[in-house]
A and B are shown apart, each in its own frame.
Chain A
Amino acid sequence: MFSRNNLGEFEEIVMLTIGVLGEEAYGLAIKQEIETRLKRPVSMGALHTGLYRLEEKGYLKSKLGKPTKVRGGKPKRFFIVTSGGQKALKKAMESRQQLWNDIPEGVFKLFPTMK
C-alpha cells in the first residue's frame, strides 16, 4: 500500500538516529540524540509509539539488554534498522534527491547549485 512504503518525517529521523547511534541505540539515547542534533523536544510517548510502530512495520528490530543495577534494575531495549528499514530510508532519500534534481534552474534562487 501507498502509506506502508512511505516514511513519515519523524519516523525517518528516528531511524536515521538509530543508525547514527549504532550499537548504543536505546530509547532514551535516541530521544536525547534527536533533541541535541535537531534542537527539538521529543516526548517519550511519541518516541516509543513511533518505535513500536516501526517495529510492527518491520523496519526496526529490537532486543532487550541485560538488566543492570542502575535504571531501577530494568533492561535497555536496543534497536537496529532492518534491511527493509534501510531500503525504505534509501528510497525516501532517493525520491527526495530526484525531486531536488528535477527542480528547474533558477527556481530556488537561494540555492542555485543544489543538484
Chain B
Amino acid sequence: MNEPPKILLWFLDVCCPDSRPDLKGDFLELYEERQAEKGGLYSNRKLLRDAISVLPLNFIIKEKQRKPIPMFSTNLKIARRNLLKNRLNTIINVTGLSVSLTICILITLFVKDELSFDKHFADGDLVYRVAGNYSQGGPNRLNSALTTYLVKPMIEGNVEGLEVVTRADFQSDVVMVNGDKQYMEDHLLFADSTFFDVFKVPFLKGDPATAIDDPNSVVIDQPTAIKYFGTEDVLGKLVNLRGKEFQVTGVFKPIPHNTHFTCNLIFPISGVKQWYADWILTNASGTSLYTYIRTKHHLDQATFGTTLTELIRKNWGWQDDGIPRYFLQPLRSIHLESNFRDEAGVNGNITTVYIFSITAIVIFVLACINFINLTVAGSFQRGKEVGMKKVMGSSTRAQVGQFQTESFLVAGVSTIIAIILVVLIMPLFNEISGKALQFNPIADPVLGLMITGILLFIGFAAGAAPAIVLLRSSTIGMLKDTLQLKTGRSYIRSGLIVFQFAISVTLISCTLIVTNQIRFIRNTNLGIDPEAVVMVPFQTEEISARFESMKTELLQNKNVISVAASSGKVTQAVGNWRQYKTDSTKDQVNIPSIVVSHDFFETMKAQIIDGRSFSKEYSTDLLQGYILNESAVDFLNMKDPVGQDLIGTTFTGSKWFLRQGVVVGVVKDFHFASLHTKVGPTVFCLGSNQTETLGWMEVRISSENMPETVEAIKSTWARIAGDRDFIFEFMDEAVAKHYQAEDRFLKIFTTFSMLSIMLGGLGLFGLTAFMAKRRTKEIGIRRVMGASTGILIQLMSKDFLKLVAIANLIGWPIAWYFMNNWLKNFAYQTSISVWVFVGTGVAVLAIAFGSILYHSLKVATTNPVRSLRSE
C-alpha cells in the first residue's frame, strides 16, 4: 500500500479537525482505492480537493468543542506541581537562565552605548575630524589626532565641498567667578566661533550662531551655570579666566556622556589667542589643536589628502618627504575606531564591542542549551504521563502546550529575576565599565523587545523540544517505562556538551593569559620608581616661577626626599616635538623633548648610565646641556655621545633660538607611560623662567607618614602659591590608570569565564542526575555482581569526561589565536605558556568531574536491595 506524499498528509492533518480521526481514515481509504484504480497523480489531486472541501467543517465543529481556558489552568496546575517536584532541576534552570539573561541585558546596554557615540549631533554624518600622519624624521611616521593651528586658514575656501571649519583645544584651568569663587575646570574648550555650526549643540539660552563671535564672550553648559550662579539666567554675567573677564552669551545643554570629548565651558579662540605661544600660532608642523570640519557632501579620503598636500606645498613651501599627511575621520567612527596619540578622551574599541557581543550571545546560547538539554532529559521521567494522556485522547497540541506552559513559567520567572538582578548590579557594572548606563526596558523599545523575544523563544523552543521527542516515541514504550534515549539524539547532546565546555576552556585560558600579561606589566621595571611620588600641577606661570623657593621650603621637611619639576605631566605626555641635528650639515629630525628642572632624574630614580646628570655646578647646563635617553642615542646614531654637539631649538619667552648644545649625559630608557608602547627617543633639557616654563612639580616623599607629608606640602603650597587650590596626584596611581582598560577587560573576562564554567557545571550536574536515575537498576545489578564504587564512578563519568577532554582540545587553539592577537597590543609581552592550557584543562576536568561525582556517588553507594526493588 502506498501513502500519500508527506506534504499532503500534513495538509490533511491541518484540514481535518482533531476530534474527527475517522475523517482522516476515510480519506486514506479512499486514497488507496483511487490509487489502485487510476494511479498516484489522480488520487493526489482528488485528495487535495477533498481535503479543502472539509475545511469549513473545522469552523462548524470548533465553536462547540474547543475550550482553551480550562485546559490552560490545568496545564498551569500540572506545571507547578512538576516544577516543584523536580526542585533541583528547576533551580538549575532558573539560575542559569536568569544569570545569563542578566549578562545579556548588561552587555546589550554597554554595546548600545558604545555604538551611540556622537550620534546625537544633528547631521553628524557630514562632520569629520582632520587628523595627521607626521614625520618623526627619516622614515618614521606617527598618527596624531591633533593638527596645527594653521590648518584652518589653509583649507578654508580651498577645499571643494567644505562648509565650515573649527578648531578645538581642550584645556584645564581655574575659573574665577564673582572675584572670589574658584573652580578647577578640567574641560575647558577653546574653539572658533564656527564651532556651533559644526557641532549642533542645543542651546537653552542665547543664540548659537553668534554666541562666541565676540572675543570676550563665553558659553557654558547648564550644570556649570547652576554651579557658578545658582540659576540658568546667566546671560551677561562675568567669568574670569587667567585674569581676563568673559561675558556669558549662551547656555547650552550638557554635552551627553556619549560624545568623544567633554566640555563645560567654551571660549572663543579669538579671545584666548594671546596666551598661545608663538610657535603654536606659526609652526606648520606642530600638533596642538583639533580641527573639525562640516562638509556639504561626503568627501573622498584620497582626494582630500592630495588636495591638502598641494595646499601645504603651495602655502607652507614644504617640499620634502617630511610633509604632514592629513586625512579625514568621520565623526561617528572616532570613538570606536580611532586610537591615535592625543585623543580628546578615552576612546572605545570596536574589538571590545565585538568580543562583548559575541560573549553575550555565547553565554545566552549556553544557558538555552542547558535548559533544553535538561528539559529533554527530565521529560523522559514523564513518559508515563505523556503516554497516559495520549491513550486518553489528548491532542498533540495540548501536549506540546503542557510542556510549553512549563518552559514559559521557568523563562518568565528567570526574566523577572534577571530584571531585578540588572537593577541591583547596575551601579557596580557602571563602576567597572566606567559608564553611566541606565536600565529601563519599557522606555527602551529595543531592549524591551529583545527581552520579550528571548522569553518567547525560550518558552517555545524549550517547550517544543521534549514534546517532539516524546510524542514521536511509541506510546506502549512510554507506558512500560522502557523508553530509551535514542543514539542519534545523544550525538546532539554530546555535541552540545563539547560546545559548552570548549567555550569555558577558551574563556578560562584567555583570563589566565590576560592575568599573566597584567602581572608581567606590573612587575616590569619601569626604569623609574613611581611609588611615593606626589605630582602637583603649577596651574599658573606665576606659581611656576616660584618653584625654586617652593623647593627650598619643601626640602626642609625631613619626609620630603627630593623635589623636581617638568614641562608636562610625566605620566602622560612624552613631551613636545622639537627639531634636532647632530651637526649643521645633517638633516633635522623630530624628537620629543621634555623640559625638566635640576634633580629630575634623581627624583624619578632614573639611572644615568653615561656622563652626568644636570648639575648646578655647571652654569652652562641651563642653556646648553642636553641629556638623551638610550633610544635617542640610537635614533641619532651617535657613538660615544657624551660631550658631542647637539643643535636644537629653544624658546626664550618670545622667540625661538637655535640652541648650540652639548650632550652631558645619557639616561637609561625608562617608561613614563604604559607598556603598550616602546620607549621612544627623548631629549631632556633644563628649563627656567626665562626659557621654557615648568608645568608640574614632582615631590618624592618618604613612604612613611605619607598623609602628614602631603598635608605639609599643601601648607607650603598655600604659603607660596597663594589662593590657588592645592591639586595633587600620586604617580603610581597615575601609572596604574594606563592599565585601566586591561583591568576592566580582566574583570569582565573573569566574570564571564566563571559564569560559563558555572553554567557548564550546572548542566552536567543536572544531566548526571537524570542519568543516575535511569541507570539505578543497572548500577544495582553491577554492585550485586561485585563492582566497586571506584569502577562504578568511572563508568558513570567516563563518557562525560571524554567529551570535556575533546572540548579542551578545541578550546586551546581558539584561546591561543585570540590572545596572540591581543598581546600584539603591547610592546612588551609575556609569552603564552603551555602551563596556562594544562592548568585550564586540569581545572575544567576537575570541575566537570566534581559535577558528575555527586550523583554518581549517590547512586553507586545506595544499597542495591533498594535500587533493585524500585519498580
A residues with CB within 8 A of B? 26-28, 31, 43-46, 48-49, 52-53, 64, 67, 70-72, 74-77
- Let me know if A72 and B30 touch, CB within 8 A: no
B133 to chain A, nearest CB (A): 76
**Once the chains are docked, how many angstroms separate the CA of A31 from the CA of B53?**
14
**Once the chains are docked, how many angstroms separate the CA of A32 from the CA of B340?**
86
Q: What chain B residues lie within 8 Å of A48 (beta carbons)?
A: 20, 23, 54, 57
**Once the chains are docked, how many angstroms separate the CA of A12 from the CA of B701?**
114
Of A43, A46, A52, A72, the contact of B28 (CB 8 Å cutoff): A72
- Let me know if A52 and B22 touch, CB within 8 A: no
- Let me know if A26 and B53 touch, CB within 8 A: no
* Selected A-B contacts with CB under 8 Å, 13 pairs: A26-B22, A28-B29, A48-B20, A49-B54, A49-B56, A49-B60, A67-B25, A71-B25, A74-B21, A74-B24, A74-B25, A76-B26, A77-B23
In chain B, residues 5-33, which have Cβ atoms closer than 8 Å to a Cβ of chain A?
20-30, 32
Q: What chain A residues lie within 8 Å of B156 (beta carbons)?
A: none
Of B1, B29, B53, B61, the contact of A45 (CB 8 Å cutoff): B53
Of A26, A52, A64, the contact of B26 (CB 8 Å cutoff): A26
- Let me know if B55 and A45 touch, CB within 8 A: yes
Q: What chain B residues lie within 8 Å of A77 (beta carbons)?
A: 20, 22-23
**Once the chains are docked, how many angstroms separate the CA of A44 from the CA of B52?**
9
Give the top 10 A-B pairs by smallest Cβ distance, nearest first. A45-B53, A74-B25, A77-B22, A71-B25, A27-B26, A28-B26, A72-B28, A44-B50, A45-B54, A43-B53
Other A-B contacts than A76-B22, A76-B26, A77-B23, 18 sampled, CB-CB below 8 A, are A26-B26, A27-B26, A44-B27, A44-B30, A45-B52, A45-B54, A45-B56, A45-B57, A46-B53, A48-B54, A49-B54, A52-B61, A71-B25, A72-B25, A74-B21, A74-B24, A74-B28, A75-B22
**Once the chains are docked, how many angstroms separate the CA of A48 from the CA of B59?**
13
**Once the chains are docked, how many angstroms separate the CA of A70 from the CA of B52?**
23
Q: Is B3 an interface residue (CB 8 A)?
A: yes
Of B3, B27, B57, the contact of A52 (CB 8 Å cutoff): B57
- Let me know if A28 and B60 touch, CB within 8 A: no
Of A27, A45, A53, A70, the contact of B22 (CB 8 Å cutoff): A27
B9 to chain A, nearest CB (A): 8
**Once the chains are docked, how many angstroms separate the CA of A31 from the CA of B34?**
14
- Let me know if B22 and A64 touch, CB within 8 A: yes
Q: What chain B residues lie within 8 Å of A74 (beta carbons)?
A: 21-22, 24-25, 28
B367 to chain A, nearest CB (A): 40
B705 to chain A, nearest CB (A): 93
**Once the chains are docked, how many angstroms separate the CA of A52 from the CA of B22?**
13
Contacts A49-B60, A72-B25, A74-B24 given; indicate if A28 touches B50 (C-beta within 8 A).
no
Contacts A43-B53, A45-B53, A46-B53 given; indicate if A71 touches B29 (C-beta within 8 A).
yes
- Let me know if A44 and B61 touch, CB within 8 A: no
A56 to chain B, nearest CB (A): 9
**Once the chains are docked, how many angstroms separate the CA of A76 from the CA of B26?**
7
Q: What chain A residues lie within 8 Å of B61 (beta carbons)?
A: 52
Q: What chain B residues lie within 8 Å of A52 (beta carbons)?
A: 57, 60-61
A8 to chain B, nearest CB (A): 16
**Once the chains are docked, how many angstroms separate the CA of A49 from the CA of B50?**
13
Residue among A64, A67, A74, A75 having the largest count of chain B Cβ atoms under 10 Å: A74
Q: What chain B residues lie within 8 Å of A76 (beta carbons)?
A: 22, 25-26
User: Which residue of chain A lies nearest to B9 when distances are taken between CB atoms in the complex?
Assistant: A72
**Once the chains are docked, how many angstroms separate the CA of A48 from the CA of B20?**
10
Residue among A28, A44, A46, A77 having the largest count of chain B Cβ atoms under 10 Å: A44
Q: What chain B residues lie within 8 Å of A53 (beta carbons)?
A: 60
Q: Is the interface of B mostly helix, strand, loop or mixed?
A: helix
Q: What chain A residues lie within 8 Å of B27 (beta carbons)?
A: 44
User: Which residue of chain A lies nearest to B47 when distances are taken between CB atoms in the complex?
Assistant: A44
User: Which residue of chain A lies nearest to B54 when distances are taken between CB atoms in the complex?
Assistant: A45
In chain B, residues 95-137, which have Cβ atoms closer than 8 Å to a Cβ of chain A?
none
- Let me know if A44 and B54 touch, CB within 8 A: yes
B391 to chain A, nearest CB (A): 12
Q: What chain A residues lie within 8 Å of B57 (beta carbons)?
A: 45, 48-49, 52
Q: What chain B residues lie within 8 Å of A49 (beta carbons)?
A: 54, 56-57, 60
**Once the chains are docked, how many angstroms separate the CA of A80 from the CA of B28?**
23
Contacts A46-B53, A52-B60, A52-B61 given; indicate if A28 touches B21 (C-beta within 8 A).
no
User: Which residue of chain B lies nearest to A43 when distances are taken between CB atoms in the complex?
Assistant: B53
Q: What chain A residues lie within 8 Å of B54 (beta carbons)?
A: 44-45, 48-49
Contacts A48-B54, A76-B22 given; indicate if A70 touches B60 (C-beta within 8 A).
no
Q: What chain B residues lie within 8 Å of A71 (beta carbons)?
A: 25-26, 28-29
- Let me know if A72 and B26 touch, CB within 8 A: no
**Once the chains are docked, how many angstroms separate the CA of A43 from the CA of B54?**
9
- Let me know if A45 and B60 touch, CB within 8 A: no
Q: What chain A residues lie within 8 Å of B28 (beta carbons)?
A: 71-72, 74
In chain B, residues 54-75, which have Cβ atoms closer than 8 Å to a Cβ of chain A?
54-57, 60-61
Q: What chain A residues lie within 8 Å of B23 (beta carbons)?
A: 27, 44, 48, 77
Residue among B24, B26, B61 having the largest count of chain A Cβ atoms under 10 Å: B26
**Once the chains are docked, how many angstroms separate the CA of A45 from the CA of B17?**
12
Q: What chain A residues lie within 8 Å of B25 (beta carbons)?
A: 67, 71-72, 74-76
**Once the chains are docked, how many angstroms separate the CA of A46 from the CA of B56?**
9
User: Which residue of chain B lies nearest to A77 when distances are taken between CB atoms in the complex?
Assistant: B22
A27 to chain B, nearest CB (A): 4
In chain B, residues 480-528, which have Cβ atoms closer than 8 Å to a Cβ of chain A?
none
**Once the chains are docked, how many angstroms separate the CA of A77 from the CA of B23?**
8
**Once the chains are docked, how many angstroms separate the CA of A77 from the CA of B272?**
98
**Once the chains are docked, how many angstroms separate the CA of A110 from the CA of B723?**
133
Of B21, B55, B56, the contact of A75 (CB 8 Å cutoff): B21
**Once the chains are docked, how many angstroms separate the CA of A80 from the CA of B149?**
103
A101 to chain B, nearest CB (A): 38
**Once the chains are docked, how many angstroms separate the CA of A71 from the CA of B30?**
9
**Once the chains are docked, how many angstroms separate the CA of A23 from the CA of B55?**
28
- Let me know if A72 and B24 touch, CB within 8 A: yes
Q: What chain A residues lie within 8 Å of B30 (beta carbons)?
A: 28, 44
Of B20, B26, B50, the contact of A43 (CB 8 Å cutoff): B50
B656 to chain A, nearest CB (A): 99
User: Which residue of chain A lies nearest to B32 when distances are taken between CB atoms in the complex?
Assistant: A70
**Once the chains are docked, how many angstroms separate the CA of A107 from the CA of B22?**
49
User: Which residue of chain A lies nearest to B50 when distances are taken between CB atoms in the complex?
Assistant: A44
Q: What chain B residues lie within 8 Å of A70 (beta carbons)?
A: 1, 29, 32
- Let me know if B50 and A45 touch, CB within 8 A: yes
**Once the chains are docked, how many angstroms separate the CA of A83 from the CA of B87?**
57
**Once the chains are docked, how many angstroms separate the CA of A52 from the CA of B61?**
8
**Once the chains are docked, how many angstroms separate the CA of A1 from the CA of B365?**
64
**Once the chains are docked, how many angstroms separate the CA of A45 from the CA of B55?**
7
**Once the chains are docked, how many angstroms separate the CA of A28 from the CA of B21?**
13
**Once the chains are docked, how many angstroms separate the CA of A70 from the CA of B29?**
8
Q: What chain B residues lie within 8 Å of A27 (beta carbons)?
A: 22-23, 26
B473 to chain A, nearest CB (A): 16
A35 to chain B, nearest CB (A): 11
B358 to chain A, nearest CB (A): 48
A45 to chain B, nearest CB (A): 3
Q: What chain B residues lie within 8 Å of A44 (beta carbons)?
A: 23, 26-27, 30, 50, 53-54
Q: What chain B residues lie within 8 Å of A43 (beta carbons)?
A: 50, 53
User: Which residue of chain B lies nearest to A69 when distances are taken between CB atoms in the complex?
Assistant: B1
Q: Using an 8 Å CB-CB cutoff, how does the interface string of B796-808 with A read, 1 for contact, 0 for none?
A: 0000000000000
- Let me know if B3 and A72 touch, CB within 8 A: yes
**Once the chains are docked, how many angstroms separate the CA of A28 from the CA of B28?**
10
Residue among B25, B27, B52, B61 having the largest count of chain A Cβ atoms under 10 Å: B25
B30 to chain A, nearest CB (A): 6
User: Which residue of chain A lies nearest to B49 when distances are taken between CB atoms in the complex?
Assistant: A43
**Once the chains are docked, how many angstroms separate the CA of A74 from the CA of B31?**
14
B29 to chain A, nearest CB (A): 5
Q: What chain A residues lie within 8 Å of B26 (beta carbons)?
A: 26-28, 31, 44, 71, 76
**Once the chains are docked, how many angstroms separate the CA of A53 from the CA of B24?**
19
**Once the chains are docked, how many angstroms separate the CA of A52 from the CA of B59?**
12
In chain B, residues 701-725, which have Cβ atoms closer than 8 Å to a Cβ of chain A?
none
Q: What chain A residues lie within 8 Å of B24 (beta carbons)?
A: 72, 74
B270 to chain A, nearest CB (A): 88
